[in-house]
Chain A
Amino acid sequence: MQGSVDTVSEAMADARVGDMLPDRRGHFGVYGGRFVAETLMKPLQELEDAYQRFRRDPEFVAELDADLAHYVGRPSPLYFAARWTQCLGGARIFLKREDLNHTGAHKINNTVGQALLARRMNKHRIIAETGAGQHGVATATVAARAGIECVVYMGSEDIQRQAINVYRMKLLGASVIPVESGSKTLKDALNEALRDWVTNVDSTFYIIGTVAGPHPYPMLVRDFQTVIGREARAQCQEQTGRMPDALIACVGGGSNAMGLFFPFIEDSSVALYGVEAAGAGLETGRHAASLCAGRPGVLHGNRTYLLEDINGQIIETHSISAGLDYPGVGPEHAWLKDTGRASYVAITDAEALVAFHDLTRIEGIIPALESSHALAFTAKLAPRMERERIIIVNLSGRGDKDIHTVATRAGILL
């Protein structure tokens, strides 16, 4: 079983000795950190201490590995998209099938891990924020299984856009609280979850869904998601006998991308591409591409690239994909951008939709609109690469949740 070699402790052993990031205070270069209300400093320290203790605990690691194997359904396949490769006429394209995980996306890798921490920290209430609802569903799922109360904050705009996921969360026993403040989307849901946490700090574990927020979350979520990259690395060796040449993943907060990239960061021959949402086009200002078009600032507990106005107020973002509709990005991506280790590009709503339809018709796989951004960039890059080259694309989620959005754009009433 592949799960037996893929442990959290090994992920840490894999990591660079000496220049391990984040540093002790949660910084990736100038990014990251812990910019929060004083009340939250203590629970964040407790979370960090608990994680440092349990990630070396063989019992914790064994339980996590077992959950990933038998509950999530790992390892997820690395699938050679032969027909799509032929159509594009360039590099060989492999899809890392995170869409086949339980609940239909990579988000569950992180929530099973954090739920194990919550139980060991004796927290009997879990809260989460969600945009598209995938992280909310993944959190409600692990909370149901653990028999723990679960409250999910979701912007009222997103509740309208993602009615099916809202109902899924409710079926799983979670309370979904509509957030009416600000732009009524993911960033406001995060604000409201932080307000809940500061109020119920003794009883509550906050499961953040992406590699953002105050330290230790960017590290914690990354570590739980690196199972994606470790599997992909081994699977690529096994199937092709060599390393990939490029990795491509979509970036909203950036957890699926960090999970794929992290085990390859030391391999300088592997190019890393993060794909942001260009919405209606970067030039229109209606997008969610914080790395491509934003600048550094401080929001939600960390310093990172943000979309903001000239006075430092956070601006509203636009993307066809609710999961990418966020004005910030994980601080480690900001660091990878500045150091040049990863490249960040942006794909418009229209380009993502083309890729959505292409993969569906050519490979029989309906991808999430988030993942469709990564696919659309793949369609641009692959033809420019030689045929023996290898691209791994993170197919981070399945597209069932998006069919209403796609139909509406096509003028079809379901």
Chain B
Amino acid sequence: MRQLFHAEGILNRDFVGQITYTVCLEKPCRAMDIAMTFDRQHFSEEDITPEMEESVLLEIREKYGLSPDPCELRRMMLQDMKTEIHLLAMMNDTFIGCIHRQLTERHMHFENGLATEGCLPVDRFEGVLQVTVLVFNVIMDGTRYTLSVSGEEDQDAAPV
């Protein structure tokens, strides 16, 4: 497969929303792989400051009436709080897949009438591919993500 598109970005803490990349395919493709990675999914011990603990405690007390002890709060921040980013793809405005598993590296692979779970098989990619990075939660500034689209182009086809 040949890489058709590559993008990288840096997300700030608390961003919620999506970033959509539109790829106009120069040639039809018989197979496609869409890959996304991101880092800083969870806090490390060093990331957590007393101010952050206080802020989270206030938030969950106000929203949910929760008052965990300091040890439990730390566990919740280390294990339960996470950066959550998903990946959605549309071909010519038609849904072809979404990967919802909590992975920091995920692929949508389409080939020979098969597709990664979460995706619908596509025999031929021709037209406009839209890949959307769905950002549900970013817990740390400077969270990096990458997106790449690779395709096996149909060499016999004339350019679109």
Is A bound to B? Answer: no
* Chain A contact residues, CB within 8 Å of chain B: none
* Chain B contact residues, CB within 8 Å of chain A: none
